[in-house]
Amino acid sequence: MYCSSCGEKNEENAQICTNCGAALSSSTHSEPEQSKEPIQPEPMQEEKSAQQPVQDKANIGINIITFCFMPLLGIIMYFVWKGEKPIAAKSALMWGLIAIGVWIVFYIIIGIFVGIAGSIDPTTDF
């Protein structure tokens, strides 16, 4: 018995095609029909999963790592993701820029405290 959808040969008592999964009817011909159009096999499961849309949402893990440890990671991830995941890319860039700003303010404050502490003469009494 041949499948009317893909032309694959199946067992005589089969109800479903082993190649494409189409239901086989009892009226299916024992010889494949010669059609004018070539039969295209269905894509494999891997190809179908590759065509699924990418979920585009902010990546919390990348944002935390970007803010706490590596601000440049957010900027790099923006350029990596901007075409396929624009929301995640903008989120990573935003947290990267915020982290750079926080680090700059932090180092300025530390510099001020070190400058003040360095200008105090330890031998003088208040």
User: Same domain for 87 and 65?
Assistant: yes
pLDDT of residue 59: 83
* Structural domain containing residue 105: 60-119
User: Same domain for 45 and 66?
Assistant: no
Q: How far is it, in rounded angstroms, from Cα 9 to Cα 40?
A: 15
Residue percentage of the chain with pLDDT more than 90: 17
Query: What is the number of domains present in the chain?
Result: 2
pLDDT tens per residue across span 60-116: 888 888 888 888 888 888 999 888 889 988 998 999 999 999 999 999 999 999 988
User: Same domain for 32 and 75?
Assistant: no
Would you say residue 64 lies in a domain?
Answer: yes
User: Same domain for 64 and 96?
Assistant: yes
User: Same domain for 75 and 44?
Assistant: no
Nearest to 81 by CA among 92, 72, 95: 92
Place of tokens 């901007």: 82
Residue 105 structure tokens: 């303010």
Q: Is residue 126 predicted with pLDDT exceeding 70? A: no
pLDDT of residue 62: 85
Q: How far is it, in rounded angstroms, from Cα 49 to Cα 46?
A: 5
